[in-house]
């Protein structure tokens, strides 16, 4: 907080004026043993007394976190994606299909791609492409798994396992390709959703 200016002769004297001679009880402390006057000639900061001020008044730059570029920490966006969020949702579509199929004996393989499609499919064409390819593949094979598992489990156990293996393997392959920035075209798939 600053104090309003005082009339001359009242309170503290002019800081640029020479100090009045004191005998220990004046407005200024006695001169220092360095021989210089108080306040120092030339004003503040005294020459060599304080470090030089930084440009802009801030500490030197160079520490801290590097700036983000392209929405991906530490550099450009992942190859084939606008940002890392798109890559994450594409991986959710493919790996989520493989995980859902594995956990539910192939019946719920479509849930992961459906979540990715509903969450980000309308906002990103890249995520939409990945989610649709995974959703079409997993939906077809989930229907086949449902028929084999619930209708004829006792008679057709081996085909049910084969369907499960197909869903998991191709879901993992598609997830690896999505990690590289490519849209994987599933074999043995039908475009039920466009």
For 67-113, what is each residue's pLDDT tens digit? 555 444 555 677 788 888 999 999 999 999 998 888 887 888 899 99
Number of structural domains in the chain: 1
184 within domain boundaries: no
Q: Is the model's pLDDT at 50 over the cut of 90? A: no
How far apart are the C-alpha atoms of 158 and 148, rounded to whole Å?
10
190 within domain boundaries: no
Say what angle helices 157-179 and 84-103 make with each other, to 10 degrees.
Answer: 170
Task: Look up tokens 């990690």; give the residue.
Answer: 179
What's the rounded mean pLDDT across residues 103-129? 90
User: Is the model more confident about 34 or about 158?
Assistant: 158
| Single pTM value for the model | 0.53
152 within domain boundaries: yes
Q: What is the domain extent for residue 97?
A: 84-179
47 within domain boundaries: no
33 within domain boundaries: no
155 within domain boundaries: yes
pLDDT for the residue numbered 140: 92
Question: What is the rounded average pLDDT for all residues in the chain?
Answer: 75
What distances in angstroms separate CA 193 from CA 63, 118, 132, 137, one per listed residue? 50, 13, 7, 10
64 within domain boundaries: no
What are phi and psi for residue 140, nearest 5 degrees?
-60, -50
């Amino acid at each position: 907080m600053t104090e309003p200016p005082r009339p001359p002769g009242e309170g503290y004297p002019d800081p640029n004026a020479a100090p009045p001679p004191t005998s220990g009880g004046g407005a200024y402390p006695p001169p220092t043993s360095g021989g210089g006057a108080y306040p120092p000639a030339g004003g503040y900061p005294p020459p060599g007394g304080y470090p030089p001020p930084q440009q802009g008044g801030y500490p030197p730059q160079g520490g801290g976190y590097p700036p983000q570029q392209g929405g991906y920490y530490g550099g450009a966006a992942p190859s084939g994606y606008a940002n890392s969020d798109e890559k994450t949702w594409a991986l959710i579509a493919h790996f989520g299909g493989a995980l859902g199929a594995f956990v539910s004996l192939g019946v719920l393989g479509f849930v992961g791609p459906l979540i990715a499609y509903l969450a980000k499919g309308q906002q990103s064409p890249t995520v939409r492409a990945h989610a649709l390819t995974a959703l079409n593949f997993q939906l077809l094979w989930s229907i086949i798994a449902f028929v084999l598992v619930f209708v004829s489990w006792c008679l057709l156990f081996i085909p049910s396992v084969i369907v499960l293996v197909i869903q998991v393997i191709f879901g993992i392959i598609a997830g690896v390709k999505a990690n590289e920035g490519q849209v994987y075209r599933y074999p043995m798939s039908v475009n039920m959703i466009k």
